[in-house]
């Protein structure tokens, strides 16, 4: 049986920490240890941790960083301090469902070729109320170097993979750390682990992911952030419905890294995914601009299978075609009018 570690990072988290700790203690499969990295809390965080550590049947190891590391490096150092065979990443403000560790650990036990397991999550607000925001939806191709990783401006705050939904084998850490540049620990793991081993997903909500104004992944109201993203898009490019950005430097950094990994079992597959996305998004822009002229590109993306690496492939296929046909038939219409119309047609109910 795999030994289980939880890497918990904290910083001034007194408001929600106790609820998270209670959910860890209520797991149907208890961890073998909880390793805490505190980034210099000045509130009651440490007091809460120390009191909780006395009430649980597993060891809790707390380390206070000598200097502030920030979320990514704090997680990196805390993960590396874990001794378990499987390491779960844990934020200070979420709530885990009781069966989270058990379900995810079973995957590792059954599949020795799997080094990363990922679950779905729903979202709650600061009061624990459910939010109708599709924060986390997964599919296996989506995680393997999917284009969403390299799209701006959403890649740093609004990408669909978050660390607290994942668990990783400790033996794989030597291949993926240290964290490069301003990437997060979750981004690093989800980009790099698939180059070496299989990943598996559990299409079930096993965590309540909390969105509030003080957490590091949501510094602003979600809708305000999305509006800012749209404004950035308008400034950077002529706006089209479904406009995509490709972060060329991040793509090149990843390609340089993976080409330098001689032991990477899935290197060629990952490179194909990345190159495919470099072709996919520009082609989608062409299709949306005029689906009559660029109908061959639509067929190419359809039959190449690249649409089916998206989270909502059928919706993307028909969205691009509808926008492109509307643009071709109504060249005098403004992009804003087209955008509003397509939003009505494709709005989720």
- The pLDDT tens digits for 22-79 are 999 999 999 999 999 999 999 999 999 999 999 999 999 999 999 999 999 999 999 9
- CATH fold of 4-210: Spore Coat Polysaccharide Biosynthesis Protein SpsA; Chain A (3.90.550)
- Tell me: the pLDDT tens digits for 237-252? 333 334 445 566 677 8
Residue in 307, 311, 343, 309 with CA at minimum distance from that of residue 326:
343
Name the nearest CA neighbour of 12 among 39, 46, 41: 41
Phi and psi at 263, nearest 5°, equal -95, 5
> Which residues, in sequence order, are CB contacts of 262 under 8 Å at separation 6+?
none
User: Where are the chain's structural domains?
Assistant: 4-210, 222-346
* 10 pLDDT higher than 80: yes
Q: Does residue 27 sit in helix, strand or coil?
A: coil
CB atoms within 10 A of CB 122: 17
Listed range (80-84, 238-242, 267-271, 307-311) with the worst mean pLDDT = 238-242
């Amino acid at each position: 049986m795999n030994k289980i570690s939880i890497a918990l990072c904290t910083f001034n988290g007194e408001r929600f920490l106790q609820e998270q700790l209670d959910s860890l203690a209520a797991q149907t499969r208890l961890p073998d240890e909880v390793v805490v990295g505190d980034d210099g809390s000045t509130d009651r965080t440490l007091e809460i941790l120390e009191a909780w550590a006395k009430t649980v049947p597993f060891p809790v190891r707390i380390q206070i960083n000598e200097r502030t590391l920030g979320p990514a490096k704090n997680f990196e150092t805390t993960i590396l301090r874990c001794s378990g065979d499987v390491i779960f990443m844990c934020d200070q403000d979420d709530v885990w469902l009781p069966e989270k560790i058990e379900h995810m650990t079973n995957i590792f036990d059954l599949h020795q070729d799997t080094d990363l397991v990922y679950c779905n999550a729903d979202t709650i607000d600061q009061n624990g109320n459910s939010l109708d925001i599709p924060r986390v939806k997964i599919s296996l191709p989506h995680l393997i170097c999917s284009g969403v990783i390299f799209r701006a401006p959403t890649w740093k705050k609004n990408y669909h993979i978050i660390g607290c939904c994942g668990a990783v084998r400790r033996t794989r850490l030597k291949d993926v750390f240290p964290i490069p540049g301003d990437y997060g620990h979750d981004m690093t793991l989800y980009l790099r682990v698939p180059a070496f081993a299989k990943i598996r997903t559990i299409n079930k909500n096993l965590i309540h992911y909390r969105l509030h104004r003080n957490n590091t992944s949501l510094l602003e109201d979600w809708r305000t952030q999305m509006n800012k993203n749209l404004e950035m898009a308008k400034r950077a490019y002529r706006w089209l419905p479904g406009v995509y950005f490709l972060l060329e430097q991040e793509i090149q950094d990843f390609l340089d890294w993976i080409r330098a990994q001689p032991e990477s079992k899935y290197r060629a597959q990952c490179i194909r995914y990345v190159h495919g996305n470099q072709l996919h998004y520009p082609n989608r822009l062409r299709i949306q601009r005029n689906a009559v002229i660029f109908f061959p590109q639509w067929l190419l993306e359809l039959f190449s299978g690249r649409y089916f690496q998206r989270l909502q492939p059928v919706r993307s296929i028909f969205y691009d075609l509808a926008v492109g046909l509307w643009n071709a038939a109504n060249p005098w219409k403004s992009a804003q009018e087209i955008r509003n119309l397509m939003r009505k047609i494709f709005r989720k109910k």
